[in-house]
Structure 1
Amino acid sequence: NAPFADARIDAGGIVEMMKLTDGTEIVPLLVLDCSGSSARIASRTAPAFEDWSAWLPCDRTHTQRLSATGAPPPYTQVDGQGSGWTATWPLGGADVRLTCAAGGEGTPFRAGRRVEAWRGNCIALGAAAGLIEPLHPTALTVLLRSLAQLIQLWPAERRAPVEAKAFNRFTANAMTGARNFVIAQKAAGRGVGAFGDEPGDTMLPDVVEAKRTLFAARGRLPMFDDEPFEEEDWAAMFDAMGQVPRRYDARADALPLATIQQHFADHRARIIAQVRALPPYAHAMAELAAA
């Protein structure tokens, strides 16, 4: 149970021995680096890092706990300001405010990912594998999917290059997909004043541009391997940020307009009825806290 102190690592990234502060030495089959952005072992086994600051320049986070004012809202409020954004949500009878900005006070971080999350017998998980601005809870989603992949690829010996290659391909796709979602939202938000002060001459990643242009043209979205967000998430995000397709999908002509209108009217009525049957958010949270 003693803290980690040091490790002996060969040129191929194999952690041959781990030493704890009490002198205990461990010869590991596999090392899971969950040490956060410091990546205490993975930064030595796989130091190559892909930097994303050209698209995501925020590099500081700062958290405050504030006195709650009024009934808590059932959502997180996100506001763009200056070189970053703030998110406020109710928690435990107070409001928590997270500020993410480029420069200034707060905890530093670097947006990007480790090029090889699995190298040798060390696997970086969570923030040790990479970081994205916490505009969405992408970190937990990517972590859970990475763990599911790791279970499927669990090696029988220290050196497992085939499994490592498959895991690295998945992790790269998942983290890049999460990055693209945040980039797309910030780019779309600039059009409606939600986010600002980002380099105007920075080209969007090809995948983001492909999604944005096709959605703007006809409301469709191309999807790619291992993306952590579904097509519905992308459509809802673009719609919420004020992106309206120039024309509808031609397949809608297969049904009479009156049928489509009635379908959505019925769907809307069901949603309203379900929401009205729910208790107020504050009451529901109080009941959960008392349980």
Structure 2
Amino acid sequence: NGHIASVTLESGEVVTGDLFIDCSGFKGLLIGETMESPFEDWTKWLPCDRAMAVPCARSDDFTPYTRSTAREAGWQWRIPLQHRTGNGYVYSSAFISDDEAARTLMDNLDGEALADPRPIRFKAGRRTASWTGNCVAIGLASGFLEPLESTSIYLVQIAINNLVQLWPRKAMDPVLIKEFNRLVDTEYDRVRDFLILHYHANTRDDAELWRYTREMSVPDSLQDKIDRFRHRGDIPFYRSGLFAPPSWVSVMLGQGLKPEGHDRLTERLKLEDVQQRLETLRRKISDRVDAMPTHAQFVRDYCGVKEAA
């Protein structure tokens, strides 16, 4: 019936089962090589396909957030940890060489490098059917989206949740399989669109990558969101999904997309009342922040890593 009957390990051990979960990473040993579920390549929308990663000595700038900085052919991350800072350059090999990307990364560290740059290769996209036959792909075997919004763990968790909720009886149920694939596809597609928005809405004109992503055609699902926001500042709300309307609004406004109109219901609000509420909220937040320890103080006092003896 085209299902997997058993898996033979390198040791020679044969593992039989009714349902197999493929967690073999980018290789997709079961879902791709065995079940031949096609991989839908999204490189035309998300051209970054490589990364260089390197740790460096921690600086005094111990910020409570990850910093993402646009570069000529991609973007650089900076993640401050207690004893070091994680750094990486996510880039498109179509617009920069590996050697040049490594030099760019090393030239933009704020501390001494603690290792040589480590290259990583990947391809944006997903399986057209993460559940095929009696094989379910989870994680990188199912798909991958670049780490601009650090969504990989979420996509793993939501796939596991969906599988638990749709757990089959001994016989594979095509209705459950179809629903699982619909849910997984929807999650990937919405995250994909959110990532594409960061690139497509850019206003840079100093590098080929940024010109390409600004001028490229985007998925209809994303174009509809952009058009709707431009029309009256509206973002559709979904009961599921990682990115809620405030996240979409933040990126659109931050990238310079401005609504041409507005929701008529907002005319029932008095501008003075809105301004007063926002000012009250700002003041309460400011007062609370002033009474709190800094991020560095909190980490040191409550979750500091002890030095080895």
Q: Check conservation: 1:83, 1:197, Cα contact below 8 A.
A: no
Aligned match of 2:80: 90
Residue of structure 1 aligned with 2:64, choices 58, 74, 95: 74
Q: Does 1:154 align with 2:167?
A: yes
Q: Does 1:42 align with 2:31?
A: yes
Q: Check conservation: 1:88, 1:97, Cα contact below 8 A.
A: yes
Aligned match of 1:5: none
Q: Distance in 1 between matches of 2:293 and 2:202?
A: 32
Aligned match of 2:251: 237
1:45-64 → structure 2 map (5 Å cutoff): 45-64=35-54
Aligned match of 1:111: 124
Shift of 1:198: 2.6
Residue of structure 1 aligned with 2:276, choices 252, 258, 262: 262
Structure 1 pair 228/155, CA: closer, same or farther in 2 (3 Å)?
same
Amino acid at match of 2:293: P
1:1-291 → structure 2 map (5 Å cutoff): 12=2, 14-43=3-32, 44-103=34-93, 104-105=97-98, 106-190=119-203, 196-223=210-237, 226-287=240-301, 288-290=303-305
Structure 1 pair 74/241, CA: closer, same or farther in 2 (3 Å)?
farther
- Tell me the TM-score normalized by structure 2: 0.84
The alignment partner of 1:189 has SS state of coil
Q: Distance in 2 between matches of 1:232 and 1:192?
A: 27
Shift of 1:76: 1.3
Shift of 1:31: 1.1
Shift of 1:28: 1.1
Shift of 1:200: 4.9
The alignment partner of 1:85 has SS state of strand
Structure having the higher strand fraction is 1
Shift of 1:225: 7.2
Q: Distance in 2 between matches of 1:193 and 1:261?
A: 38
The alignment partner of 2:212 has SS state of coil
Shift of 1:187: 1.4
Q: Check conservation: 1:80, 1:196, Cα contact below 8 A.
A: no
Q: Distance in 2 between matches of 1:260 and 1:168?
A: 43
Shift of 1:65: 0.3
Shift of 1:34: 1.3
The alignment partner of 1:15 has SS state of coil
Q: Check conservation: 2:51, 2:89, Cα contact below 8 A.
A: yes
The alignment partner of 2:52 has SS state of strand
Q: How many residues align?
A: 280
Q: Check conservation: 2:79, 2:85, Cα contact below 8 A.
A: yes
Q: Distance in 2 between matches of 1:151 and 1:192?
A: 47
Structure 1 pair 152/59, CA: closer, same or farther in 2 (3 Å)?
same
Q: Distance in 2 between matches of 1:208 and 1:63?
A: 30
Provide, for residues 206-242 of structure 1, a one-character-per-residue CA deviation record: whole Å limited to 9, x for no partner. 1211212222232211245743311121112223333
Q: Check conservation: 1:223, 1:231, Cα contact below 8 A.
A: yes
Structure 1 gaps of 5+ residues are 1-9
The alignment partner of 2:126 has SS state of strand
Instruction: Let me know the Cα RMSD of the aligned residues.
Output: 2.2
Q: Distance in 2 between matches of 1:58 and 1:39?
A: 21
Q: Distance in 2 between matches of 1:121 and 1:91?
A: 41
Shift of 1:202: 2.0
Q: Check conservation: 1:18, 1:25, Cα contact below 8 A.
A: yes
Q: Check conservation: 1:61, 1:100, Cα contact below 8 A.
A: yes
- The percentage of counterpart residues that share the same residue type is 29
Structure 1 pair 266/135, CA: closer, same or farther in 2 (3 Å)?
same
Q: Distance in 2 between matches of 1:277 and 1:39?
A: 51
Structure 1 pair 73/207, CA: closer, same or farther in 2 (3 Å)?
same
